[in-house]
Chains A and B, each alone.
Chain A
Amino acid sequence: MRPSVQDMIAQSKGKKNKQMIEKIIPIILFLIASVSVLTSIGIVMTLIVETVTFFTRVPFLDFIFGTTWLPFSNKEAQFGILPLIVGTLKVTLIAVIVAVPIGISAAIYLSEYASENIRRVVKPILEVLAGVPTIVYGFFALTFVTPVLQAMFPEIKIFNAISPGIVVGIMIIPMIASLSEDAMSSVPKSIREGALAMGSTKFEVAWKITVPAALSGIIASVVLAVSRAIGETMIVSLAAGSTPRFDGDFTGSIQTMTAYIVQVSKGDAGYGTTIYYSIYAVGFTLFVFTMAMNILAGYVSKRFREEY
C-alpha cells in the first residue's frame, strides 16, 4: 500500500525552491521588460549626446534653417538640413498620392463588398506585400519603375523622387489597407443593416455610414503610413540619388534624410569628424518627425474614437 497522495505531497522536496522561484521570477521578468525602455532611453540619449557634439561645431540655427547641405565640401562644409527634409517630403508626398486612394479603396472593398472567400485570398497576399524586404522594393524601383517612367517621360533622370515615391507608396498600401479595414470592420453590422434596410446602396452605406464612423482609424492608418514613408531608407538610397536640393523638382536626383545617413555610413567618415556627428543630427531630426507622426496617430485614434 502506497502512502496517500497528500502525504507524498507533504514529503516532496522543493517547497522552499518554489517560494524562491515565485519571488525571483517577477524580478527577472521585470528586468527583461525594462529592456524595451532602456532601448528607448538608449536611442534618445545616443541621438541627443552626439547631436549636441554636432551643434558645438555647426550652429543650431544654420542647421535647421540652412538651405544648403554640402557636408563633403573641401572648402567650406555646409549643414543646412532643409534640402534633406524637402527630399524626404517629396518622396513622402508621392507615396501618399499613390497609397492613400488605393489603400483606402482596397479597405472599403474588403470590408464592404468582398465575400469571405475573396477576403481569405486577398488579405494574405497583402501580408506578403507588407513582408517584402525594402531592399527588394528598392531594386524594383531602380530597375523597373524608373525605366518605365523614363520611357513615358524622357525628362526623368535615372535618380529621381517619383520612382522611389511610387514604390514607397506600394510598400505602405498594405499598412493603410489593413489598418483601415480593421477600423471599418469594427463598425457594427447592425448599423450597416439598418441603413441597407432603408434602401441604401452598398456604396451609400460605405460612404455615408462606415467611412465616417471609421474615420479616426482611417486617418490614424494614413498618419502611421506617412511615418513609415518618412523613415524608409533602402528604396530611396537605391533609387532617389544623393543630391540634396532645396527646390520643387521631382524629376532629378534628390537626397532624403535616411539616404544621407546610409551614404555616410557606407563611406568611411572617420569617427569624430563633423560628418560623423552629422548623421546623428539628421537621425535625430528623422526621429522627431516620425515620433510626431506616431503620437499624432495615437492621438487621432484615441480622441476621435467612435463609441458603439
Chain B
Amino acid sequence: MTTIITKKPIIETVSNQPSKKAVYETKQLNLWYGSNHALKNIDLEIMENEVTAIIGPSGCGKSTYIKTLNRMVELVTSVKTSGEILYRGRNIFDQDYGVEELRTRVGMVFQKPNPFPKSIYDNVAYGPRIHGIKNKKILDEIVEKSLRGAAIWDEVKDRLNENAYSISGGQQQRICIARALAIEPDVILMDEPTSALDPISTLKVEELVQELKKDYSIIIVTHNMQQAARISDKTAFFLNGEVVEFDHTDTIFSNPSDKRTEDYISGRFG
C-alpha cells in the first residue's frame, strides 16, 4: 500500500466539520469471497457521534462492509482483503491488532435478535464477565445502566433472571443492544437490526438509536430507505460492492448527485 493518502472528493464533502473526529477511515478496501469480488475500492470516513446509514439493494455488499469493520466477516469463509480500515487511526488489518481487542471497542447488533439461552441478566453481563469484571456490585450497576440505555429497564427489571427467550422479539433485540452497551463500546454496528421486528418494535429501536448517538458512533445497515432518512446523519449508497454516493442524508434523499442513487431511492429498482 502507498502511504500517501489521496483524499477523494467524496470524502472531502463529509469531513468539513473540524469539531468531530473520524472513528473509521476506510481506504481503498477490496474484499473477495473466494473469487467473488464483494467490495470494490471502498473509501469511507465515519465520524464520531453520528448515525451513518448504509443502504443499497440486497447483495450490494452493505452487510459485508459492516462485518468487515469488526472483522466478523473472517468467520464466514475464506476471505481476502486489500486496502486498509483505520479505526481511531490504527489499521485493523495489522498483524498485531487482536480481533478481540477491536471487538471489545466496537459493539454489534445483528439482523435477528440473538440473545444467549441464558437469563436476561447473564446476557447483559456476558461482555463485562468475559473481559474479567467479576465484582457483583459493579456488574449489577452495569446491567442496570445498559438496560436503561437500551430503554428496556422498566419492562424487564422484575424478571432479570428469566430466560431471554421468554420475552418478545422486539424486547429481545433491545436486550441485544443492552448487551452491546454493557462494555461501553466506542462504536455500535447495527446490521439491519429491525428487519425481523414488527413496526412498533421497529419504532422503539429507531428512537433508541437517536438517543444512543449522543454517546456512541453508530453505523447501521438497512434495507429500509425511510428508516435511513429518519434516523441517520449521513448515508452511503452501496451498489454491486461499490460506494456510489456518500453524503449528508438530506442531500442523498433530496438532491442526489448520481443518477443510480436517484433511481434507487425513488424506488425504481432494488
Contacts and interface: CB of A to CB of B under 8 A. Distances in A.
Interface of A: 2, 4-6, 8-9, 12-14, 18
B184 A4 contact: yes
A14 B184 contact: no
Contacts of B182: 5
A70 B7 CA distance: 92
Contacts of A18: 100
B109 to A, nearest CB: 17
Contact of A8 (B100, B138, B185, B186): B138
A9 B132 CA distance: 7
Contacts of A6: 104-105, 183-186
Nearest to B145: A5
A18 B104 CA distance: 14
Contact of B141 (A2, A12, A13): A2
Contacts, number: 32
Contacts of B138: 2, 8
Contacts of B196: none
A12 B141 CA distance: 18
Contact of B183 (A9, A13, A14): A9
Interface string B233-251: 0000000000000000000
Contacts of A13: 132
A14 B184 CA distance: 20
B175 interface: no
Nearest to B182: A5
Nearest to B104: A9
Given A6-B104, A9-B104, A9-B133, 6 more contacts: A2-B141, A5-B142, A8-B131, A8-B132, A9-B128, A12-B131
Interface in B116-151: 128, 131-133, 138, 141-142
Query: Nearest 9 A-B pairs (CB), nearest first?
Result: A12-B132, A5-B184, A9-B131, A6-B184, A5-B183, A8-B133, A4-B184, A14-B132, A12-B131
A5 B141 CA distance: 11
A2 B139 CA distance: 12
A9 B128 CA distance: 7
A19 to B, nearest CB: 8
Contacts of B104: 6, 9
Interface in B171-202: 182-186
Given A5-B128, A5-B142, A6-B105, A12 B183 contact: no
